[in-house]
Structure 1
Amino acid sequence: MSVGKRLFQYALRYKKMIIIALAMLTVAVSAELTGPFIAKKMIDNHILGIEKPWIQVESPMEETVEYKGNHYIRTEYFEEDASEYPEARILQVKRDYYFINEPIDFDGNRSVEGSSIIIEKGDQKAVYEAEELSSDQLLAFYRPEVKWLIYLSAFYMGLLVVSAIFTYWQKYLLQKSANRIIQNMRTDVFGQIQRLPVNYFDNLPAGKVVSRITNDTEAIRELYVTVLAQFFTGIIYILGILTALFFLDVRLAMICSVIIPIMFIWIIMYRKYASKYNYLIRQRLSDLNAMINESIQGMTIIQAFRRQKQTTDEFEKINEEYFSYRNKLLNLDALMSHNLVNLLRNIAFVTLIWYFGGASLTATTAVSVGVLYAFVDYLNRLFQPITGIVTQLANLEQALVSGERVFRLLDREGEDVSDTKVPRYKGNVVFDDVTFAYKEDEYVLKNISFEAEQGQTVALVGHTGSGKSSIMNLLFRFYDVEHGKIMIDGQDIQKMTRQDLRKHMGIVLQDPFLFTGTIASNVSLDDPAITRDTVEKALRDVGAEPFINQLPKGYDEPVIEKGSTLSAGQRQLISFARALAYNPAILILDEATANIDTETEAIIQKALDVLKKGRTTFIIAHRLSTIKSADQILVLDRGRIVERGSHDDLMEVKGKYYQMYQLQQGTKESQAV
């Protein structure tokens, strides 16, 4: 399905609100576009209407005008048969007005000689006796038109007020629906991130993911708020204006209709070139966000190793590429936006001048000034929505490119969050001939087989890259095995949903992650099933209460920036309390004591003893002194288990474990490797 169709489907969620907004927009546009018609009527019927036939009547009426003792009324205001009454005319010659007490046979070029008006049309010529009207006399003839001019002006003002009210509400509803659409889209994107497997984030920097949720969805918001509103408004305006032009003059309206296919071709050509630049622009913007995020996270290292200049140079390189593509798009916009609109506008006005000046303003085919005014007004109005549509083409392309990026993320295969309640399993774990590779044919685990019974502690040791963390990643199903199988209580974990599997598993990392909130909320993670008493008991049991009591707000002490105001040991104790509060059947400790001092380690060792009770525990450790009491120690080397047994058993063998232990104790004999 195309990006446009999918964006349209999101809009359909609020179709009722959008339809109401478009209906209001139609009313607002109709009310506004009535203006030139009203102006035409005011000019032709009431301002220039005094040149229409007048008749002399015997008695005064509401619409009559007194002139030299006689009463005159315009024929269109006279309800009876006017043919029986003598006719008179008022004609304008240059800036003066003249009264002729008789009808005229034809109209044409007018001139004045003495007290006569001469009208010429081709070979025809007529002479009429005329009297020049004074200002007061002329105003008297205009008096019947004043009330109509006031009525029409008031009517037009009323329409403008109606248009303003409906315009306000249509904009409000369109923007409200657009914000709702983007709110739903951001929720969907963020929810999708929770569904994606961990390996999706291995090759995608956090800054790029953030860019999808913020920058890309914001560009799509512009599509609904500004672009579509401008397109809908513009289309309704253009259709309304063309309809009005057809009422005024069919031939000229047909000429103006040529603009529609020109605009269609115009948009196709623009999108052909602009989409490429917009895609590269969004890509570079993601790269900028990724680098900014990485630089902030690693600012300590950057400054410690004096890498500020190199980092700035790398950033500037990406920034320069971003600027370059932006500039190219700017050139394209400058070439294909206002310049082309102005060209079309000028062509349209030249056509109008040629049509009216070359043909219609002749004596034989005269057109009213009101029609001329209406045409000029409508042509000016016609190019306003065209300009608006053209200026939004860039935003349209950005939104479509951003939509493609967002939908690509939403289309990634994920797993729905399960709300099912799974009985707590015992925690008997079996790895049966497990082989695994992050990249094809680059195996990090080879034929791994072992058993961990309920309540046992299994320690994994080995050099960096030996496969310790990979085993835990497979157990948690952050990744899935390629060969062999992993079972818990005899059930293949591949047949369990990830949420059900992890329901009764807990993990404590080397660098514990604390969320913004409080100490208590970081233990419960706002799970309603974990009560406040459970939180406080877990913190007491792991030995965190002494330092918590020293904090101003105790358990409700704010945690900010991943717990930067707390020491490494304090953060680790909170992480232990979190694992204890969730009461997992299987517990994984990934280098949990690697970054703490000796004094804190003693506290944490006691916390570990509390944590491990009744649970199957896996410990990844470099400090071998912390795993001496483990029921089973697995020694890994290049993805294989090369030794296994208790601490005492492995020390007797004097193999790799023995060598590592001796090195750490500082008593390694010279013959050791």
Structure 2
Amino acid sequence: MEPKQTVIRRLAAYAMIYKLRIAAALLVLCCAVAAELGGPYIAKTIIDKHISSVQLPWYEGKDSPALVSGGKYVELNGLRYIRSDWQHPDQEEARKQLAPSWREVRFMQLESGMYLINSTTQFDGNWSLVPDAGSQGTVPGTAAGTNATPTMDVTQVTVQVIRNGAAPELHTARKLSAEQVALLYQYEVAPVMGWLGLFIGLLLLSSILHYIQAYTLQSTALRIIQRMRMDLMRHIQKIPLRFFDNTPIGQVVSRIANDTEAIRDLFMSFMATFVVSIIHLMGIYVALFLLDVRLALVTLVFIPLFIVVMWLHVRFSQKYITVMRARLSDMNAMISESIAVMPILQIFRQEKARLKEFEVLNEDRYRSNMKNFRVFSLSSRNFTGLVGSLFTAGTIWYFGGQSLQAAISFGVFYAFIDYLGRFFQPIIGIFDQLTNAQRAIVSAEKVFYILDLEGVELQTAIGIAKPDGHVAFDNVTFGYKEGEPVLRGITFEANKGETVALVGHTGSGKSSIMNLLLGFYEPSQGEIRIDGRSIAGTSKQALRKHMGIVLQDPFLFAGDIKFNVGLYNEAIDEHKVKQALIDVGAASFIEKLPNGYNELVVERGSTLSAGQRQLISFARALAFDPSILILDEATASIDSETESLIQKALHVVSEGRTTFIIAHRLSTIRDANLILVLNRGEIVERGNHEQLMEQKGRYHQMYQLQKGGEQDPAGQLA
């Protein structure tokens, strides 16, 4: 397998194909995050500048044109109150000149009420109510330095202040009614509504931008996986058959279906979550530094802490995820094989044994999954949530143990807690997707392993001249495994229009000769020529363009009968399809079907008999009008009546074509021009039927055995 860094680079290369779409999505994401993170900052502004502003210094006095003309002020029962931040420089100078009639006061929130404190000139320290110390009633309120005595309906209470650990000082304060409190905030309503409107607008904008970026990233991820699947499917068709001889089909299916799906999760879930989380964290840090540099610096300690935990998570869970993916691939291979051979399993009563084998794989995957889940549970939400909760509690304890206003403003504190809560969500999101990322990396290794297998490029076969069909094998030697030849020194010629039959016991090399002729494998030694030209280095598409083959177990695709004959070939119209079916004798049963030539068949044609499938397979080969026709045990599983139909059709379709027949039923090859008898990869006899019978050799013994002769089979086939 490739190193993880190489796999990541190759995955990134797929992503870079759509770099403009990804860059646009990230730009939109940055705007969405900025709009989303503006909410706590707006809340901080509302708290500090509008809600908490009532506790700023106020000045109490009577009307003075220099102070309140055209300016802001609050009137409570004949007294005017001006907040310090409402004054212009010229008003402040006028107030200083009128200091005897204007004095500094405070409106303070103590427990559940708002109180006016105008009985002292020192307002620093911690203020609180004194229980049961005040008297309730209606008392006159007077302004210092004036003779006026306007009446204010208030409740007088006793409050205390503690300054720098000194003894408490007692003062009187007046509790404001709800209407009077509303007057204090009369100038804040419009700005607060404006900020709230901006806040709602940013939320709507953030939602729209998040939808756009999510749609763009998700659709891009689907495009990436679509392209990867197509690359994988194209490459599988280029890989030599030798690979499929040693690889379970279920594992190949798992690569295309399950492993690419896991990679899809990487691009759709992890990539989106990771990118979104990183940008969120960057935006949160920017906001924290804008709020308070000290608080932001403290939170920087989380980054290396979580990086270490993530590294430990990946290290311990990697081996479990690798086992899980391997077992899933093995299970798919077993399921594929079991379905393909289900009749055999049931005939030999192997259901329980097969189930036990599957249970072992399933149990192994379950144990690995549980071990990975324990690692995930300890290092993801639990750890992150614990750290986040402890830090939040510590922050509240620290600032709660001292004057909040002396340390930071309440608005900053609120915004910091809000951003802190948002800070841990991206971390949890990254943790949640780490398993998907690891699973995707393991799957990508397997996918790239197949993509890296040596393949042969598919070349166009348009314009390739139709060969005459002269075939020559010249001293050909071949083995599926190096050092273990299955063919040795095969030499023969087949002239145009001749029929060559290959006979011999199972494993003698008959199908291997045809596999070499079709270009599925390359010979170790010797040369194969068609019309005098070696097929070595010839385009496989050009080589097979004018070849037709009928297998012992014919395969029909899901579709109608016409499709299974023409196979998307534009040169084969409906008339040619029907003519081919007529030539092989299939029209008689097809026309009796409910939909005739449009009758749908399921995959492998299981709704048709073996003979009917074989006739359609013959028609497929004939419709392509090949120069070379290969019949690989094509009559082995056909009843005598159907065989008679095929024999009649063969006399017609073999005329002018070079035909190779691999047969066990020797009665079907009596008219062959050349019969090659193979034994253990060598041609031991050759000639036509009469010549071989006269030789009284292996062919003669095989023929007599099939006719019901009394010779000892063991002696004949030894």
Report TM bin, short chain.
over 0.9
C-alpha displacement at 1:342, in angstroms? 2.0
1:458-499 CA-partner distances (Å, limit 9, x unpaired)? 100000111111111111111111111111111111120211
Counterpart pick for 1:91 among 77, 85, 107: 107
C-alpha displacement at 1:130, in angstroms? 4.7
Whole-Å Cα distance in 2 between the matches of residues 102 and 410 of structure 1? 86
Whole-Å Cα distance in 1 between the matches of residues 359 and 614 of structure 2? 38
Counterpart pick for 2:299 among 256, 272, 286: 256
Whole-Å Cα distance in 2 between the matches of residues 216 and 469 of structure 1? 34
The residue number in structure 2 matching 1:375 is: 416
SS for the counterpart of 1:458 is: strand
SS for the counterpart of 2:237 is: helix
Whole-Å Cα distance in 1 between the matches of residues 8 and 712 of structure 2? 71
The residue number in structure 2 matching 1:410 is: 451
SS for the counterpart of 1:494 is: coil
SS for the counterpart of 2:480 is: strand
Out of 475-484 and 644-653, give the one that drifted further: 475-484
Aligned letter for 1:444? Answer: V
Aligned letter for 1:342? Answer: G
Q: Does 1:401 align with 2:410?
A: no
Contiguous gaps of at least 5 residues in structure 1: none
Alignment check: 8 A CA contact 2:106 2:123 kept: no
SS for the counterpart of 1:636 is: strand
Alignment check: 8 A CA contact 1:88 1:99 kept: no
The residue number in structure 2 matching 1:294 is: 337
**Highest Rg: 1 or 2?**
2
Whole-Å Cα distance in 1 between the matches of residues 128 and 352 of structure 2? 85
The residue number in structure 2 matching 1:75 is: 84
Whole-Å Cα distance in 2 between the matches of residues 148 and 602 of structure 1? 98
1:105-129 CA-partner distances (Å, limit 9, x unpaired)? 5511225676776544328898877
Whole-Å Cα distance in 2 between the matches of residues 131 and 628 of structure 1? 124
Whole-Å Cα distance in 2 between the matches of residues 135 and 160 of structure 1? 32
Give the structure-1-normalised TM-score: 0.95
The residue number in structure 2 matching 1:578 is: 620
Counterpart pick for 1:615 among 628, 633, 657: 657
Alignment check: 8 A CA contact 2:461 2:545 kept: no
The residue number in structure 1 matching 2:12 is: 8
Aligned pairs for 1:128-139 (under 5 A) are: 130-139=173-182
Relative to 1, partners in 2 of residues 1:126 and 1:572: Cα closer, same or farther, differing over 3 Å?
A: same
SS for the counterpart of 1:566 is: coil
Counterpart pick for 2:236 among 193, 197, 202: 193
Counterpart pick for 1:481 among 523, 527, 532: 523
Relative to 1, partners in 2 of residues 1:565 and 1:66: Cα closer, same or farther, differing over 3 Å?
A: same
SS for the counterpart of 1:439 is: coil
Aligned letter for 2:506? Answer: T
1:342-379 CA-partner distances (Å, limit 9, x unpaired)? 23213422442354245x5377x332211111111111
Aligned letter for 2:194? Answer: Y
Alignment check: 8 A CA contact 2:497 2:659 kept: yes
Aligned pairs for 1:103-182 (under 5 A) are: 104-105=121-122, 107-111=124-128, 119-122=161-164, 130-182=173-225
The residue number in structure 1 matching 2:543 is: 501
Give the structure-2-normalised TM-score: 0.90
Aligned pairs for 1:238-253 (under 5 A) are: 238-253=281-296
1:59-83 CA-partner distances (Å, limit 9, x unpaired)? 5657431122233332333445332
Alignment check: 8 A CA contact 1:87 1:103 kept: no
Aligned pairs for 1:518-529 (under 5 A) are: 518-529=560-571
Whole-Å Cα distance in 1 between the matches of residues 513 and 404 of structure 2? 94
Q: Does 1:491 align with 2:533?
A: yes
Alignment check: 8 A CA contact 1:98 1:133 kept: yes
Whole-Å Cα distance in 1 between the matches of residues 121 and 319 of structure 2? 69
Alignment check: 8 A CA contact 2:126 2:403 kept: no
1:278-303 CA-partner distances (Å, limit 9, x unpaired)? 12111111111111111111111111
Aligned letter for 1:98? Answer: Y
The residue number in structure 2 matching 1:51 is: 55
SS for the counterpart of 1:466 is: coil
Aligned pairs for 1:440-459 (under 5 A) are: 440-459=482-501
Whole-Å Cα distance in 1 between the matches of residues 668 and 535 of structure 2? 29
The residue number in structure 1 matching 2:276 is: 233
1:480-529 CA-partner distances (Å, limit 9, x unpaired)? 11111111111111120211111111110001111111111111111122
Whole-Å Cα distance in 1 between the matches of residues 626 and 163 of structure 2? 105
1:236-261 CA-partner distances (Å, limit 9, x unpaired)? 11111111111222122112112112
Relative to 1, partners in 2 of residues 1:289 and 1:669: Cα closer, same or farther, differing over 3 Å?
A: closer
Relative to 1, partners in 2 of residues 1:168 and 1:669: Cα closer, same or farther, differing over 3 Å?
A: closer
Aligned letter for 2:47? Answer: I
Whole-Å Cα distance in 2 between the matches of residues 441 and 104 of structure 1? 106
Counterpart pick for 1:654 among 696, 712, 715: 696
Q: Does 1:275 align with 2:291?
A: no
Whole-Å Cα distance in 1 between the matches of residues 640 and 700 of structure 2? 23
How many pairs were matched up? 671
SS for the counterpart of 1:617 is: strand
Aligned letter for 2:217? Answer: L
Alignment check: 8 A CA contact 2:581 2:619 kept: yes
Out of 197-206 and 459-468, give the one that drifted further: 197-206
**Identity fraction in percent:** 50
Alignment check: 8 A CA contact 1:90 1:97 kept: no
Whole-Å Cα distance in 1 between the matches of residues 233 and 165 of structure 2? 84
Q: Does 1:564 align with 2:635?
A: no
SS for the counterpart of 2:349 is: coil
The residue number in structure 1 matching 2:153 is: none
SS for the counterpart of 1:502 is: helix
Whole-Å Cα distance in 2 between the matches of residues 462 and 362 of structure 1? 98
Counterpart pick for 1:387 among 428, 439, 445: 428
Whole-Å Cα distance in 2 between the matches of residues 123 and 570 of structure 1? 104
C-alpha displacement at 1:389, in angstroms? 0.8
SS for the counterpart of 1:204 is: coil
Counterpart pick for 2:669 among 622, 627, 634: 627
C-alpha displacement at 1:131, in angstroms? 3.9
C-alpha displacement at 1:632, in angstroms? 0.5
C-alpha displacement at 1:636, in angstroms? 0.4
Over the aligned positions, Cα root-mean-square deviation in angstroms equals 2.1
Counterpart pick for 1:511 among 553, 562, 570: 553
SS for the counterpart of 2:187 is: helix
Relative to 1, partners in 2 of residues 1:104 and 1:480: Cα closer, same or farther, differing over 3 Å?
A: farther
Whole-Å Cα distance in 2 between the matches of residues 528 and 644 of structure 1? 41
Contiguous gaps of at least 5 residues in structure 2: 96-101, 135-155
Q: Does 1:26 align with 2:30?
A: yes
C-alpha displacement at 1:219, in angstroms? 0.8
Alignment check: 8 A CA contact 1:456 1:615 kept: yes
Whole-Å Cα distance in 2 between the matches of residues 454 and 104 of structure 1? 121
Out of 473-482 and 62-71, give the one that drifted further: 62-71
Whole-Å Cα distance in 1 between the matches of residues 88 and 219 of structure 2? 54
Whole-Å Cα distance in 2 between the matches of residues 371 and 305 of structure 1? 77
Aligned letter for 2:518? Answer: F
Out of 662-671 and 430-439, give the one that drifted further: 662-671
Whole-Å Cα distance in 2 between the matches of residues 588 and 71 of structure 1? 110
Whole-Å Cα distance in 1 between the matches of residues 577 and 428 of structure 2? 62
The residue number in structure 2 matching 1:316 is: 359
Counterpart pick for 1:35 among 30, 39, 58: 39
Alignment check: 8 A CA contact 1:217 1:402 kept: yes
Whole-Å Cα distance in 2 between the matches of residues 103 and 18 of structure 1? 64
Relative to 1, partners in 2 of residues 1:190 and 1:627: Cα closer, same or farther, differing over 3 Å?
A: same
The residue number in structure 2 matching 1:540 is: 582
Whole-Å Cα distance in 2 between the matches of residues 289 and 403 of structure 1? 17
The residue number in structure 1 matching 2:138 is: none
Relative to 1, partners in 2 of residues 1:516 and 1:276: Cα closer, same or farther, differing over 3 Å?
A: same
